[in-house]
Amino acid sequence: MNEGKVYLLGAGPGDPGLLTVRAREVLEAADVVVYDYLANEGFLDYCPEGAELVYAGKRGGEHTLSQEEINRVLVDRAGRGLTVARLKGGDPYVFGRGAEEAEQVVEAGAAFEVVPGITSAVAAPAYAGIPLTHRGFSSSVSFVTGHESADKGESALDWQALARSASTLVFFMGVKNLASITANLLRAGLDGGTPAALVRWGTTCRQTTLVESLERIAEEAQKAGYTAPALLIVGGVVSLKERLDWFEKRPLLGRGVVVTRAREQASGLVRTLEDMGACCLQFPTIRISPLKDYEAVDRAVRELSRYDSLVFTSVNGVKHFFDRLRRQGLDSRAFGGRRLAAIGPATADELRGRGLEPDFVPRRYVAEEVVQGIIHHGGFGERILIPRAETAREVLPRELERAGFEVNVLPVYRTELAHNDAEVLLEAMGRGEVHYVSFTSSSTVHNFFKLVGPERLRPYTEQGLRLACIGPVTEETLSEYGFACQVWPERYTVPELAQAIARDAAGGER
């Protein structure tokens, strides 16, 4: 029987980029994952299909599993010869009770390994522009629990030592007892004018920071409605925040953006938006699927020499066409002598990645402009093949035929309605967490309203929810449902759409 093993993993404070490579490797191989509340549950996507997921955090303020029950799960699963990942926010050995769990595993005779995580005590201040040490302010750091009961007769902490230390003080889980913490520090002799900061939801798109003097921060935090999770930092280094702030200057920080693209296509837009600080809610309305029958595609591949040129209208069109090409033992050389047009820079890059430089890429994807560009460019011949989705707008083929070309529209993949829970999205809107809904094609608009009826969206647009469209064709489709588009880019590309949303959020020109 295989020997089981328990891995104590630190998930970090929330930014998915801060999960360590080693932690990801363990998650990808785990049979069982026992996890606490995580600032980013996307880490669970790394787990193998079929892995047992055991939630051990808090729900409704109460622990789902007691510490004793967690220990029993770890020991039991390891005893069955399974690989167990115990996933904890931050670092398992920094106020994470990881050592207690490790002791139980050792006592049971099971193997274990610790994979440290980036603790919020280091990451959150760094993202807030606050260095923990600085030669001009502090040469030491103290990590302190703020989770002491205010009713306790005597504190276990040496407040005088903390006040005299000249260390940067970092308090975990201190919001509930903030008034007590600051009062103890002041009574111990720490200057009331000492800079202090509360960093809430550190390293995530929801991060906010409150900077005040030590004597005023508890009062101001209560006025501002600060609640957990938040970290308290006390010391002269806090005064550097304004100069060293970088994360909170992101233009979309805290703005919720719904991405309706197919999940296979959404990564570029999501990554760009998240780099600008947005909280992305993926709500794919389209699922990319293979055709049921590829006989027509395979015949077109075999007879490629019949065509003078090809027009690719999407990245998916390129991918699926090349897949059939490879299945027949062919590669890019099969396009020899054919002219190629790519509708948009992403499609052009997909061709370039396969060793093909498109002959023509229009500045804007408007059917009339594409046709005129092909005519003006010359050399595209008479017979044009358009590999595309099974269901798509007929404007481009129609305009090409009107211009005298012989056009063969070749479906190479299907777009289907994705199945998503509209209630989850509407609940997020109801909580005020969604500020923009982005549409990148007419299909995303049609399918969005199949999932979320127009009448259910309208109250939120009337309250300020803004709709962003990649271009005029998508905007026109949106208007068919009775909605106006408030945000669109000058160039109809995904990166430009993200920039347009950022400009709109800043109150700038579209």
Q: What is the pLDDT of residues 283-314, one digit of tens each?
A: 999 889 999 999 999 999 999 999 999 999 98
Contacts of residue 475, defined as CB under 8 A and 6 or more positions apart, other chains included, come to 469, 485, 488
What pLDDT score does 159 carry? 94
Q: Is the pLDDT of residue 59 over 70?
A: no
| pLDDT, the chain, mean | 91
Are 280 and 424 in the same domain?
Answer: yes
Are 189 and 136 in the same domain?
Answer: yes
Contacts of residue 241, defined as CB under 8 A and 6 or more positions apart, other chains included, come to 128, 129, 130, 197, 209, 211
For residue 304, tell me if it sits in a domain: yes
Are 277 and 296 in the same domain?
Answer: no
What pLDDT score does 61 carry? 58
Are 238 and 142 in the same domain?
Answer: yes
Coil, strand or helix at 84 = strand
Interatomic CA distance for residues 91 and 13, integer angstroms: 9
Instruction: Give the closest residue to 474 by CA, choosing from 356, 369, 365.
Output: 365
Are 99 and 152 in the same domain?
Answer: no
Runs of H (alpha helix) within 80-187: 98-107, 120-127, 159-164, 178-187
303: tokens are 């007879």
Is 351 within 8 Å of 318 (Cβ atoms)? Answer: yes
Interatomic CA distance for residues 179 and 108, integer angstroms: 42
| 90: DSSP letter | B
For residue 385, tell me if it sits in a domain: yes
Interatomic CA distance for residues 272 and 270, integer angstroms: 6
> Among the options 31, 36, 91, 504, which is catalytic?
36
For residue 190, tell me if it sits in a domain: yes
| Torsion-angle region of 97 (φ positive above 0: left; ψ -120 to 50: alpha; else: beta) | left
Are 441 and 323 in the same domain?
Answer: no
Runs of H (alpha helix) within 328-441: 345-352, 367-377, 395-402, 422-430
Are 223 and 269 in the same domain?
Answer: no
Interatomic CA distance for residues 502 and 251, integer angstroms: 6
What pLDDT score does 363 carry? 80
The pairing of strands 406-417 and 286-289 is antiparallel
**One-letter identity of residue 328:** Q
C-alpha 355: how far from chain center? 31
Q: Is the pLDDT of residue 152 over 70?
A: no
What pLDDT score does 509 carry? 43
What pLDDT score does 369 carry? 78
Are 138 and 30 in the same domain?
Answer: no
Residue 493 pLDDT class (50, 70, 90 cuts)? confident
Q: What is the mean pLDDT of residues 404-416?
A: 93
Are 335 and 427 in the same domain?
Answer: no
Handedness of CA 496, 500, 505, 506 (dihedral sign): positive
Q: What is the pTM of this model?
A: 0.83
Print the domain residue range for 226. 122-248
Interatomic CA distance for residues 431 and 255, integer angstroms: 13
What is the share, in percent, of the chain residues with pLDDT greater than 90?
76
Q: Is the pLDDT of residue 454 over 80?
A: yes
Q: Is the pLDDT of residue 508 over 60?
A: no
Interatomic CA distance for residues 119 and 128, integer angstroms: 14
Q: Is the pLDDT of residue 407 over 90?
A: yes
Are 402 and 469 in the same domain?
Answer: no
Q: End of a domain among 118, 149, 175?
A: 118
What pLDDT score does 2 carry? 62
Residue 151 pLDDT class (50, 70, 90 cuts)? low
CA distances 233 to 62, 163, 456, 480, Å, are 27, 13, 43, 52
Q: What is the mean pLDDT of residues 443-453?
A: 94
Out of 173-182, 244-253, 419-428, give the one with best mean pLDDT. Answer: 244-253
Interatomic CA distance for residues 66 and 89, integer angstroms: 17
For residue 60, tell me if it sits in a domain: yes
Q: End of a domain among 384, 415, 446?
A: 415
Interatomic CA distance for residues 40 and 18, integer angstroms: 11
For residue 510, tell me if it sits in a domain: no
The pairing of strands 141-145 and 111-115 is unpaired
Q: What is the mean pLDDT of residues 149-168?
A: 80
Look up tokens 């002799």; give the residue.
189
Percent composition of the chain: helix, strand, coil (DSSP 3-state, to 5): 40, 20, 40
CA distances 265 to 193, 435, 448, Å, are 51, 22, 16
Verify whether residue 36 is a known catalytic residue: yes
Helical packing angle, 422-430 and 454-462, nearest 10°? 20
Interatomic CA distance for residues 448 and 467, integer angstroms: 12
Q: Kindly report the backbone phi and psi dihedral angles of residue 213, in degrees, each rounded to the nearest multiple of 5, phi listed first.
A: -75, 160
Least reliable range by pLDDT among 323-327, 393-397, 462-466: 393-397
483: tokens are 């909605």
Is 139 within 8 Å of 113 (Cβ atoms)? Answer: no
Interatomic CA distance for residues 407 and 399, integer angstroms: 10
Least reliable range by pLDDT among 97-111, 149-163, 400-414, 454-468: 149-163
Q: What is the mean pLDDT of residues 350-361?
A: 94
Are 262 and 351 in the same domain?
Answer: no
For residue 312, tell me if it sits in a domain: yes
Contacts of residue 48, defined as CB under 8 A and 6 or more positions apart, other chains included, come to 28, 29, 30, 31
For residue 482, tell me if it sits in a domain: yes
Look up tokens 């193998």; give the residue.
48
Interatomic CA distance for residues 275 and 420, integer angstroms: 25
What pLDDT score does 128 carry? 97
Q: How many independent structural domains does the chain possess?
A: 4
Interatomic CA distance for residues 111 and 342, integer angstroms: 56
Q: Is the pLDDT of residue 173 over 90?
A: no
Q: What is the mean pLDDT of residues 469-495?
A: 92
Are 328 and 278 in the same domain?
Answer: no
Verify whether residue 1 is a known catalytic residue: no
Is 226 within 8 Å of 198 (Cβ atoms)? Answer: yes
For residue 37, tell me if it sits in a domain: yes
Residues 82-114 have pLDDT tens digits of 999 999 999 999 988 899 999 999 999 999 999
> Among the options 76, 173, 245, 349, which is catalytic?
173
Interatomic CA distance for residues 4 and 81, integer angstroms: 4
Give 487's strand partners.
Answer: 468
Q: Which CATH number fits the domain that encloses residue 217?
A: 3.30.950.10
What is the share, in percent, of the chain residues with pLDDT greater than 70?
96
| 188: DSSP letter | T
What pLDDT score does 1 carry? 42
157: tokens are 């902490």
C-alpha 508: how far from chain center? 25
Residue 62 pLDDT class (50, 70, 90 cuts)? low
Verify whether residue 319 is a known catalytic residue: no
Q: Which CATH number fits the domain that encloses residue 275?
A: 3.40.50.10090
Q: End of a domain among 118, 137, 155?
A: 118
What pLDDT score does 291 carry? 93
Contacts of residue 140, defined as CB under 8 A and 6 or more positions apart, other chains included, come to 133, 165, 166, 167, 168
What pLDDT score does 148 carry? 65
User: How many other C-beta atoms lie within 10 A of the C-beta of residue 440?
Assistant: 24
Is 389 within 8 Å of 415 (Cβ atoms)? Answer: yes
**One-letter identity of residue 344:** G
Q: Which CATH number fits the domain that encloses residue 111?
A: 3.40.1010.10
